[in-house]
Structure 1
Amino acid sequence: MAVRTLNRPPFYRLPVFPVLLAQLLVLLLAAATLYGVRGTVSGYSGLCGGLIAWLPNLYFAHKAFRFSGARAAQAIVRSFYAGEAGKLIMTAVLFALTFAGVKPLEALAVFGVFVLTQLVHWFTPLLMHTRLSRP
């Protein structure tokens, strides 16, 4: 059986793209707000926290939507598991690199924007009034 990857839509047409775009916008706005209100260290700390959340989500979306079609069901499931495992490992590595390599760092800004960016995917479908399960 051949696994279909050629007939999939481009990345910007996938149902997850608006969520990723909203996460990127929120993390950039939060980092800019922190920069304006609390200073440079808070700004780049918030940016680091947002990127720690967004980059693994981008990786997962790329892995999860690589295959399409009913014949690729096993490949899709394997891809979802691999994407989730990679996302968790990537998140842990990015946190470790950030706390080990970025000095000075404001931990509250890192975790605050990280959590805010993670919460976006819960609320984006409600705010956009779209169904993400449409064909």
Structure 2
Amino acid sequence: MDARTPNRTPFHRLPAFPVLLLQCLVMLGVAAILWFFQGPVAGYSGLLGGLIALVPNAYFAYRVYRYSGARSARAIVRELYSGEAGKLILTAALFVLVWVGVKPLEVAAVFGGYLAVLAVGASALLIVRGFPKH
């Protein structure tokens, strides 16, 4: 096997999947709560904010977990750096797309959805640790 052997684990079996799943559920919950209490503009604004956090996180998880094993250590480190750079660029691009392309938009709801999804990612170690292994 090559030192840079791709990980053939399905995406739903990756260690980051429980975190991404919880981020998705939080995003949908925040959007539903905003929609119910503040109206449809706040609802879709919160959903977009959550997507701005979720999509780059999923990209990062895909990049980082592409390789596995001790012989892939250099490839994994390289993917960490390029995945983080891509995540930052993707986040900035999504914010620009939302600000420019979506009208009307509730700014507070966008940031609320974004921060709620980010908070789930910040507690990722606790989430992954408590997730049962199959």
> TM-score, normalized by length of structure 1?
0.90
- AA at the equivalent of 1:70: A
Alignment of 1:67-82 (within 5 A): 67-82=67-82
Q: Is the 8 A contact 1:125 1:131 kept in 2?
A: no
Structure 2 counterpart of 1:48:
48
- 1:13 Cα deviation from its structure 2 partner: 1.3
- AA at the equivalent of 1:4: T
* Deviation per residue, 1:15-67 (Å, 9 max, x gap): 11100000000000100110011001000100100000000000000000000
* Deviation per residue, 1:83-106 (Å, 9 max, x gap): 000000000000001001100000
For the residue of structure 2 that corresponds to 1:121, the secondary structure is helix
Cα-Cα RMSD: 2.0
| Number of residue-to-residue matches in the alignment | 132
Q: Is the 8 A contact 1:59 1:83 kept in 2?
A: yes
Structure 2 counterpart of 1:89:
89
Q: Is the 8 A contact 1:22 1:124 kept in 2?
A: no
- AA at the equivalent of 2:121: H
- 1:72 Cα deviation from its structure 2 partner: 1.0
Structure 2 counterpart of 1:59:
59
Post-superposition, which runs of at least 4 consecutive aligned residues in structure 1 deviate over 6 A? none
Note the residue ranges of structure 1 that are not aligned, 5 or more in a row. none
For the residue of structure 1 that corresponds to 2:15, the secondary structure is coil
- 1:121 Cα deviation from its structure 2 partner: 2.0
For the residue of structure 1 that corresponds to 2:9, the secondary structure is coil
